[in-house]
């Protein structure tokens, strides 16, 4: 493609693209984010191409592979515009019918629609599905409209308008001012005001400055940045360029973890196309502004999401933190002033410039503005990416959008903010989710992970899980982090094995305080949070583990046993057949017995036993009844 | 260089911009305990025993004295109950790896640290990095390095370099606060397995070379 050398040329090109697009022409979009790819979106795409050809509708329909739509639970997702008809869990064999029925026949394929599990009602359009209806997808919304590898698609949704505006109508000071007025806070975790951060780098002495995109997202269960980078890389790049212009940088880096191959691929294509179009490189749009960007693939260490570690890693050194001060804004990459923001933060920038600070700051709470993308996972009906205004209640997110806890189980806790976040109990579900409210409640925003847990979850085990993650992912440089996590993990592991001792809780608190207080970087300083928040809200579970060797939610394997009630067993053999450990003795018309020493506590027998019999039970804290004698087993 | 005024343990002091809290305190004759600090090496901040309380810009923080640059108007406290507790626990954690280390035992006496508080995992190494940093910064040989991360972090010599450089140097040995023998052991271990060995070492002391 030829270079776009001016704003006029950009607008002409945009008009040309739009004029070639008939908004009434059916457009089949297929979600091709990582989650949908995993559930077979690639095969659906091939089928789509085939059927369009076969049924001879190539000229009557447009097909587009887009980034993540968010409703990952129900993928692969097909949405047909202009009506917005939404088909879920689409398989290759459904495509012929979609083309013949919906595209040619203008009829709905009922069986592919969303069915509300609560009332059985079907939803035809995307916007009618409760999961989407209660969201405000300002950042994520464009994902469904564009092919992430198509510059034309991005231009069709107002792409590069914000860049053109700042380059020709705004001074760098005005851009920083706009971001400050918008009150945007960094989406990476700590929530530092982005405009103020930009100002530090802008005012730092030195000619050479850098901007960096932090796409090193390592929280278990979180994939917001991944989906934005995969689905809309041009928006991230545009935000980055606006930031570079504002602080006076001409070089940028995108740090993406190696585990995000689709993000790397789409980003690389986007950079190449932007370069070809003259939207990256020298004298962008004839403004005199030069900017180049390079992609750096990180090896996937959790600590490399931390700014100073990320910079060390970018420089080719071990991904370990440095002390701050000096802050990266003063002494960052190669010792030069550097501004690092995460993917979601950068992606918000073009919108703030296009729609203005007033628009942005009107959304959200007093202290946290705009929307936030959460990845809602765990024991919740509708898992996926959820974008809501700051201040939405946790209860609305989990129950209205997420559809509540599956299988009629009871909600127990929600873990927010990644491994160093915290677990909130049901009584705190009505807090308004923003940076400060979450911190006050003992959790944190983090990058926006949200893991829902039901009554079967052991909170001591959850704390143990997160500490095990942090123990592996700590860089190990400083004593309080490396040793503190190690000792806390030992105590928790012992507890879940039934080896808890009096005094453990006091020692945990002491270790937590030292680790929090004296660690070098945020990983160590926040590492005790999983322990502190669960101890704060679920102390009775810890006490049950230590004092009674009993686990209230019956999930720590060392503290539970399975038992078949002789009077209820019908000798059907269902559990016998299911048991992988040959730990069940039975036979036709004989009462079955579990051999405790062989049992691996997988729970297969409990699931296998027909509900009408209900003979198998899980027990904890009381001795397992003796097996009935051989001669008494005949039914 | 600009002069900065701050207060350490109630004493007013003028220091040069860029000076660390540790250096400023020493100039006043105030001792802050350290394990991983070394005059010839860049501040590293690994042991955190030098943690002090710092009030600056209206906020109170715990910072590592060896790394934190002095700020104008800063108020530092190097001895408080909270700091004593932190240092005691850090020492106990390190002593679980190197119970017989003399410098650690000396500090343990001061802070009442119990070397048996935590289950002993006698790796002898507390990962202070003095050997690694000395080899890199002073000798510029990079013959010894950290490997792995988190709880699995350890030090090891790089056989390729160690074979060439270490026999005539060994200057890292006396730096080790836990045991010079530890360094000797790690060095020997690495040299027992030459990088080009095709015959695996039996692990019993023979080199695998005939």
**pTM assigned to the model:** 0.91
- Asked if pLDDT for residue B206 goes beyond 50, the answer is no
Which tokens sit at A382?
């509708």
Q: Which of A323, A470, A517 is nearest residue B45 as measured by Cβ atoms?
A: A323
| Half-sphere exposure of residue A168: CA atoms within 13 angstroms, side-chain side | 14
Distance CA B105, CA B98 (A): 9
Peptide bond into A267 cis (omega under 30): no
Q: B146 and chain A: CB distance < 8 Å anywhere? A: yes
Chain A partners of B94 at a C-beta cutoff of 8 Å? 479, 483
Report the candidate in A257, A221, A285 with the shortest Cα–Cα distance to residue A13: A285
Confidence category of residue B196, pLDDT binned at 50, 70, 90:
low
Report the candidate in B104, B101, B78 with the shortest Cα–Cα distance to residue B26: B78
Question: Are A479 and B118 a contacting pair at CB < 8 A?
Answer: no
Distance CA A318, CA B116 (A): 33
Q: B168 and chain A: CB distance < 8 Å anywhere? A: no
Strand B11-16 vs strand B3-8: parallel, antiparallel, or unpaired? Answer: antiparallel
Range B175-194 average pLDDT: 75
Confidence category of residue B203, pLDDT binned at 50, 70, 90:
very low
* Tens-place pLDDT, residues A510-525: 999 999 999 999 999 9
Q: What is the DSSP string of A75-100?
A: -S-EEEETTTEEE-S--GGGHHHIII
Q: A61 and chain B: CB distance < 8 Å anywhere? A: no
Percent of chain B residues topping a pLDDT of 90: 72
Strand A210-215 vs strand A251-257: parallel, antiparallel, or unpaired? Answer: parallel
Q: What is the mean pLDDT of chain B?
A: 89
Residue A31, classed as helix, strand or coil, is strand
Q: Which of A476, A480, A511 is nearest residue B151 as measured by Cβ atoms?
A: A476
Decide if A271 contacts A293 (C-beta within 8 A). yes
Question: Are B45 and A510 a contacting pair at CB < 8 A?
Answer: no
Percent of chain B residues topping a pLDDT of 70: 89
Distances (CA, A) of B40 to A124, A325, B175: 71, 21, 11
**What pLDDT does B1 receive?**
64
Q: B103 and chain A: CB distance < 8 Å anywhere? A: no
Question: Are A518 and B45 a contacting pair at CB < 8 A?
Answer: no
Distance CA A285, CA B4 (A): 47
Confidence category of residue B199, pLDDT binned at 50, 70, 90:
very low
Q: B65 and chain A: CB distance < 8 Å anywhere? A: no
Chain A partners of B90 at a C-beta cutoff of 8 Å? 479-480, 483, 514, 518
Residues of chain A predicted below pLDDT 50: none
Question: Are A514 and B68 a contacting pair at CB < 8 A?
Answer: no
Chain A partners of B126 at a C-beta cutoff of 8 Å? 479
Distance CA B197, CA B185 (A): 20
Q: Where are any strands of DSSP class E within A124-223?
A: 210-215
Residue A547 forms beta bridges with which residues? none
A560 DSSP assignment: -
Question: Are B90 and A514 a contacting pair at CB < 8 A?
Answer: yes
Confidence category of residue B181, pLDDT binned at 50, 70, 90:
low
B31 Cβ partners below 8 Å, 6+ apart?
B25
What DSSP element (H or E) covers A584?
strand A584-585
Distance CA A227, CA B103 (A): 51
* Tens-place pLDDT, residues B83-136: 999 999 999 999 999 998 999 999 999 999 999 999 998 788 999 999 999 999
Dihedral pair phi/psi, residue B125, rounded to 5°: -95, 130
**What pLDDT does A586 receive?**
87
Which tokens sit at A39?
């559930």
- Interface A-B, measured as beta-carbon pairs within 8 A, has a size of 95
Report ipTM (2 d.p.). 0.90
Q: B148 and chain A: CB distance < 8 Å anywhere? A: yes
Residue entry with tokens 């939610």: A553
Q: What is the DSSP string of A246-265?
A: HHT--EEEEEEETT-HHHHH
């Amino acid at each position: 493609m030829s270079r776009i050398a001016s704003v006029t040329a950009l607008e002409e090109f945009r008009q040309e693209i739009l004029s070639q697009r008939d908004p009434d022409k059916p457009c089949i979009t297929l979600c091709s984010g990582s989650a949908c790819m995993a559930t077979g979106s690639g095969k659906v795409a091939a089928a789509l191409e085939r059927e369009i050809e076969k049924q001879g509708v190539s000229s009557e329909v447009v097909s587009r592979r887009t980034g993540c739509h968010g409703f990952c639970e129900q993928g692969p997702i097909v949405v047909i515009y202009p009506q917005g008809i939404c088909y879920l869990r689409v398989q290759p064999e459904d495509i012929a019918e979609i083309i013949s029925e919906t595209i040619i026949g203008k009829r709905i394929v009922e069986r592919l629609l969303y069915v509300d599990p609560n009332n059985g009602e079907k939803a035809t359009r995307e916007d009618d599905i409760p999961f989407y209806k209660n969201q405000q997808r300002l950042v994520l919304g464009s994902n469904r409209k564009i092919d992430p590898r198509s510059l034309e698609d991005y231009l069709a949704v107002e792409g590069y308008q914000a860049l053109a505006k700042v380059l020709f109508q705004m001074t760098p000071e005005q851009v920083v001012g706009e971001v400050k007025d918008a009150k945007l806070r960094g989406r990476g975790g700590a929530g530092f005001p982005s405009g103020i951060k930009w100002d530090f780098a802008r005012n730092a002495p030195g000619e050479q400055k850098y901007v960096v995109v932090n796409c090193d997202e390592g929280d278990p269960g979180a994939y917001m940045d991944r989906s934005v980078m995969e689905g809309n890389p041009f928006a991230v790049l545009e935000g980055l360029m606006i930031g570079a212009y504002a602080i006076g940088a001409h070089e940028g880096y995108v740090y993406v973890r190696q585990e995000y191959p689709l993000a790397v691929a789409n980003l690389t294509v986007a950079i190449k196309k932007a370069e070809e179009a003259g939207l990256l490189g020298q004298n962008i749009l004839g403004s005199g502004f030069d900017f180049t960007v390079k992609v750096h693939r990180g090896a996937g260490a959790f600590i490399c999401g931390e700014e100073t570690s990320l910079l060390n890693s970018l420089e080719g050194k071990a991904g370990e933190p440095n002390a701050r001060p000096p802050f990266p804004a003063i002494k960052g990459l190669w010792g030069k002033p550097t501004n690092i923001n995460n993917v979601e933060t950068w992606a918000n920038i073009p919108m703030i410039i296009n729609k203005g600070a007033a628009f942005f700051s009107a959304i959200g709470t007093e202290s946290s503005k705009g929307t936030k993308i959460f990845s809602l996972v765990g024991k919740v009906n509708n898992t996926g990416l959820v974008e809501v205004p700051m201040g939405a209640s946790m209860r609305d997110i989990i129950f209205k959008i997420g559809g509540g806890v599956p299988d009629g189980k009871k909600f127990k806790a929600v873990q927010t903010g990644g491994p160093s976040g915290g677990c909130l109990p049901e009584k705190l579900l009505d807090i308004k989710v923003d940076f400060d409210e979450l911190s006050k409640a003992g959790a944190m925003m983090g990058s926006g992970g949200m893991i829902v847990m039901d009554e079967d979850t052991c909170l001591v085990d959850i704390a143990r899980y997160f500490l095990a993650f942090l123990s592996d992912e700590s860089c190990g440089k400083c004593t309080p982090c490396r040793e503190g996590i190690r000792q806390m993990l030992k105590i928790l592991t012992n507890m879940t094995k039934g080896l808890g001792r009096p005094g453990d809780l006091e020692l945990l608190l002491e270790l937590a305080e030292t680790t929090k207080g004296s660690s070098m970087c945020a990983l160590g300083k926040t590492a005790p949070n999983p322990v502190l928040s669960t101890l704060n809200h679920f102390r009775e579970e810890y006490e049950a583990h230590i004092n009674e060797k009993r686990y209230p939610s019956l999930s720590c394997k060392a503290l539970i046993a399975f038992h078949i009630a002789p009077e209820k067993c019908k000798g059907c053999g269902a559990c016998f057949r299911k048991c992988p450990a040959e730990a069940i003795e039975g036979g036709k018309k004989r009462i079955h017995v579990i051999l405790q020493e062989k049992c691996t506590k997988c729970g297969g027998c409990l699931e296998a036993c027909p509900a009408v019999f209900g003979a198998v039970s899980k027990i904890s804290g009381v001795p397992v009844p003796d097996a009935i004698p051989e001669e008494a087993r005949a039914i | 260089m600009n002069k900065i005024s701050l207060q350490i343990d109630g004493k007013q002091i003028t220091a040069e911009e860029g000076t660390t809290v540790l250096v400023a305190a020493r100039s006043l004759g105030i001792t802050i305990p350290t394990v991983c600090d070394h005059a010839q090496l860049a501040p590293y901040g690994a042991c955190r025993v030098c943690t002090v309380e710092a009030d600056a810009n209206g906020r109170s923080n715990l910072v590592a004295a060896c790394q934190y640059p002095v700020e104008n108007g800063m108020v530092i406290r190097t001895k408080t109950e909270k700091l004593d507790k932190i240092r005691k626990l850090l020492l106990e954690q390190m002593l679980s790896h190197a119970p017989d280390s003399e410098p650690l035992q000396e500090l343990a006496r001061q802070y009442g640290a119990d070397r048996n508080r935590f289950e002993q995992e006698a790796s002898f190494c507390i990962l202070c990095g003095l050997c690694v940093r000395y080899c890199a910064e002073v000798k510029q040989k990079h013959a010894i390095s950290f490997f792995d991360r988190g709880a699995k972090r350890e030090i090891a010599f790089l056989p390729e370099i160690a074979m060439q450089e270490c026999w005539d140097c060994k200057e890292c040995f006396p730096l080790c606060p836990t045991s010079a023998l530890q360094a000797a052991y790690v060095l020997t271990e690495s040299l027992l397995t030459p990088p080009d060995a095709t015959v695996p070492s039996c692990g019993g002391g023979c080199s695998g070379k005939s």
